[in-house]
């Protein structure tokens, strides 16, 4: 049977292109703001474009932060995309204003340290050994980014010697930034897999394959 994937509609994100890209993996995809449907799906995608503060406000407005928490407590997969990844961190700082995020990971989303911002276009990644999200993706493959802010430092301390640490993928625009994270049922990408051609399609298929 096809896996049921919900794209959370909270007023932000390129919902239809993400829906079409996920449908091409063979998943049964719906777009909704209904919390029950979002909690019960095999996989939940949290998109996001624009300002961190607007996205986290919209996410909380539909109870999305609680949906994410419930899913993770039950080991149910969640994938954040672009600002949908950023809001999973502890806080975001834009134009000197700090906003609290979902705090699933410690760390701050801040302005990229680069001569040209936004970072818009194609870039390569440095994925770690053991990655499932990037399995079968060549080291020279490029992914599509469009963002002015990111996570420049990974600050999460090891939880236990018996629990594998998150797998962090990096990219560089002026300086390194977190491009993706794989942490048990919680995964996220700063780039747009739905706009990243065959490489992005492989990433989405890999994620759906874990459901």
Total residue count of the chain as it appears in this document = 211
Give bridge partners of residue 43 from the DSSP assignment.
5
Residue pair 158/165 in contact (Cβ under 8 Å)? The answer is: yes
Residue 194 annotated as catalytic:
yes
> Tokens for 132?
């499932």
Which of 119, 147, 173, 192 is labelled catalytic?
A: 192
Beta strands 78-81 and 43-46, pairing class: parallel
Eight-class DSSP state of 126: B
Angle formed at CA 190 by CA 185 and CA 195, multiple of 5 degrees: 105
The 3-state DSSP class for residue 40 equals helix
- For residue 139, whether the previous peptide bond is cis, meaning omega lies within 30 degrees of 0, is no
Which of 90, 110, 141, 194 is labelled catalytic?
A: 194
Residue pair 28/7 in contact (Cβ under 8 Å)? The answer is: no
The separation between CA 83 and the C-alpha centre of its own chain, rounded to angstroms, equals 7
Angle formed at CA 100 by CA 40 and CA 187, multiple of 5 degrees: 40
Which of 55, 82, 102, 173 is labelled catalytic?
A: 82
> Tokens for 191?
């780039």
Residues forming the active site? 82, 192, 194
């Amino acid at each position: 049977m096809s896996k049921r994937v919900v794209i959370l509609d909270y007023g932000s994100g390129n919902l239809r292109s993400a829906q079409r890209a996920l449908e091409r993996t063979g998943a049964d995809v719906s777009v909704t703001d209904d919390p029950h449907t979002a909690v019960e799906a095999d996989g939940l995608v949290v998109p996001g474009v624009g300002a961190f503060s607007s996205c986290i406000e919209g996410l909380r407005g539909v109870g999305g932060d609680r949906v994410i928490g419930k899913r993770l407590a039950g080991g149910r997969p969640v994938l954040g995309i672009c600002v949908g990844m950023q809001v999973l961190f502890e806080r975001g700082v834009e134009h000197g204003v700090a906003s609290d995020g979902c705090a699933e990971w410690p760390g701050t989303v801040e302005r990229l340290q680069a001569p040209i911002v936004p970072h818009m276009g194609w870039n390569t990644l440095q994925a770690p050994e053991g990655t499932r999200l990037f399995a079968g993706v060549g080291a020279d493959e490029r992914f599509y980014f469009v963002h002015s802010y990111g996570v420049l430092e990974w600050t999460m301390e090891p939880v236990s010697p018996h629990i594998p640490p998150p797998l962090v993928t990096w990219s560089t625009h002026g300086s390194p930034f977190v491009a993706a994270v794989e942490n048990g049922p919680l995964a996220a990408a700063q780039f747009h897999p739905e706009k990243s051609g065959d490489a992005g399609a492989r990433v989405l298929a890999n994620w759906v394959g874990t459901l």
